[in-house]
Amino acid sequence: MTVRVRFAPSPTGMFHVGGARSALQNWIYAKQQGGVFVLRVEDTDAARNKPEWTEGILSALDWIGISRGSYEGPYFQSQNAGEHRAAAARLYESGRAYYCDCTREDVQARTGSQHQGYDGYHRDLGLGPGEGRALRFRTPDEGTTVVVDLIRGEPTFENRLIEDFVIARGDGSAVFLLANVVDDMTMGITHVIRAEEHLPNTPKQQLLWDALGVKPPVWAHVPVVVNEKRQKLSKRRDKVALEAYRDEGYLAGAMRNYLMLLGWAPSGDREIVPWSVIEDEFRLEEVNPSPAFFDEKKLRAFNGEYIRALPVAEFIDACQPWLTGTGTIAPPPWQPEEFDADAFAAVAPLAQTRIAVLSEIVPNVDFLFLAAPTIDEAAWTKTMKDGSADLLDAAVAAFEALESWDAESLKSTLEAVGAERGLKLGKTQAPVRVAVTGRTIGLPLFESLEVLGRERTLTRMRAARLRLV
């Protein structure tokens, strides 16, 4: 039997990091088993679906390494509506489902509670199909439904506690429970690897598989992903869009590595490992069923490690969207003609050790390409104290006299200026850094001044000195 897994997102918004984690787990499992990964877009929510969301899913999968052409699909759930209706009809004709025209208010009036589920009122009344009548599945009165789950063991559900649930709406269209089952049957899905939030639906879906006479798939419900407050990640509250992390400058390799650690770990005391190791070592049955904490700070640290591991040439290439404003990246604060590729290449190794996400490259190097630095006023106020004017005058004079404009000469010269005033280098260089770069922190100062050049450095220092008058 060929293993067939599926990833079935809904195109109703940005691509959730939890969905990306599930996609990767399905992808690896299929590869390990010599199986097939199927992409099915569950697009039956016409009011919320948008074509751009579908394209966003495909692009996000491309980015994390599940590229178009390497999987089966994408299929679209809406294209299978005929099969959904046919399955609903079979269940009705076999007596496994019945029609009901009760409203929520009807049920509440009969039960006296707004919290109680459907009471089975139409179960034996023989109501036939008709406009506005929903089709409900006839849940067994007795016994249990056992879900065999690779991660969670054998969760057991009492059938008497499962209400007669709706499988088709009044207009005849299938609801998610039935459509999902029929699609998996039609596509020959053998293993369903999905988020824990779907576990409560699983006994209902397994009952549908049984009623339709097909063996259920192997289930594996991976842990829910939570925030630092141990709340399920929410689009309304948390930063969950994979595209947002991509556009901020997270590397696909770092994101893949980190997502796979949400509920699982490679062997040994290590977390940052080559993707080939993850592909070899990942085991579904080793996934921890407990909620998995999505720690953005840890992801950021991961990304910094991945950035520092890049060859410099690859780092330079990776920074280009932020340096040029291509794709979905906002334009940088300089004009295209102001950008100097050679100057950037000169400071790239310095920047590579200091940034955690690629978008941070812009504030680290903008002083090289702007006609004048963008002054951080808080940094100016903090740094330009009494004595700063005198220090800048002396530094300008000393720099003007330099024969060689290189980092070592600049450093030794400024050290001497500071020593004459009883200042250590840290205190001495702070006003110079703010005058030249506009900030108190950034790339190593003297290497930056070397790349910026004598004329531009001195012009900025003189301008800062005039501002202190």
How far is the CA of 446 from the CAs of 86, 240, 301, 370, 442, in angstroms? 75, 40, 27, 18, 11
Q: How confident is the model at residue 113, as a pLDDT?
A: 67
The answer to whether the predicted template modeling score (pTM) of the entire model surpasses 0.85 is yes
Computed on alpha carbons and rounded to an integer, the radius of gyration of the chain in Å comes to 31
Q: How confident is the model at residue 449, as a pLDDT?
A: 98
Q: Encode pLDDT of 310-337 as tens digits.
A: 999 999 999 999 999 987 889 999 999 9
Within 10 Å of residue 160's Cβ, how many Cβ atoms?
12
Q: Domain 377-467 has what CATH class? A: mainly alpha
> 77 with 185: CB under 8 angstroms?
no
Domain boundaries for CATH 3.40.50.620 within the chain: 4-73+177-225
Measure the CA angle with vertex 237, ends 292 and 177; round to 5°: 65
Q: Is residue 427 annotated as part of the catalytic site, yes or no?
A: no
Q: How confident is the model at residue 430, as a pLDDT?
A: 96
Distance (Å, rounded) from C-alpha 309 to C-alpha 306? 5
Q: How confident is the model at residue 122, as a pLDDT?
A: 82
Q: Encode pLDDT of 3-25 as tens digits.
A: 999 999 988 888 999 999 999 99
The residue count of the chain comes to 469
- Consecutive H or E run containing 94: none
DSSP letter assigned to residue 333: S
Q: How many helices (H) and strands (E) are present in the chain, helices listed first?
A: 19, 12
CATH 3.30.930.10 fits 4-73+177-225, yes or no: no
DSSP letter assigned to residue 299: H
> 141 with 159: CB under 8 angstroms?
yes
Q: Encode pLDDT of 119-176 as tens digits.
A: 777 888 889 898 889 999 999 999 999 999 999 999 999 999 999 999 999 999 999 9
Q: How confident is the model at residue 3, as a pLDDT?
A: 97
Domain boundaries for CATH 3.90.800.10 within the chain: 84-168
Measure the CA angle with vertex 448, ends 446 and 451; round to 5°: 115
The separation between CA 78 and the C-alpha centre of its own chain, rounded to angstroms, equals 26
Pairing between β-strand 144-146 and β-strand 156-158 as defined by DSSP bridges: antiparallel
Mean pLDDT of the chain: 94
Out of 215, 229, 232, 235, pick the active-site residue.
235
Q: How confident is the model at residue 112, as a pLDDT?
A: 64
Q: Encode pLDDT of 258-280 as tens digits.
A: 999 999 999 988 999 999 999 99
DSSP letter assigned to residue 140: -
Distance (Å, rounded) from C-alpha 429 to C-alpha 435? 10
Domain boundaries for CATH 1.10.10.350 within the chain: 377-467
pLDDT interval class at 47 (50, 70, 90): low
Q: Encode pLDDT of 400-423 as tens digits.
A: 999 999 999 999 999 999 999 999
Fold of 84-168: Glutamyl-tRNA Synthetase; domain 3 (3.90.800)
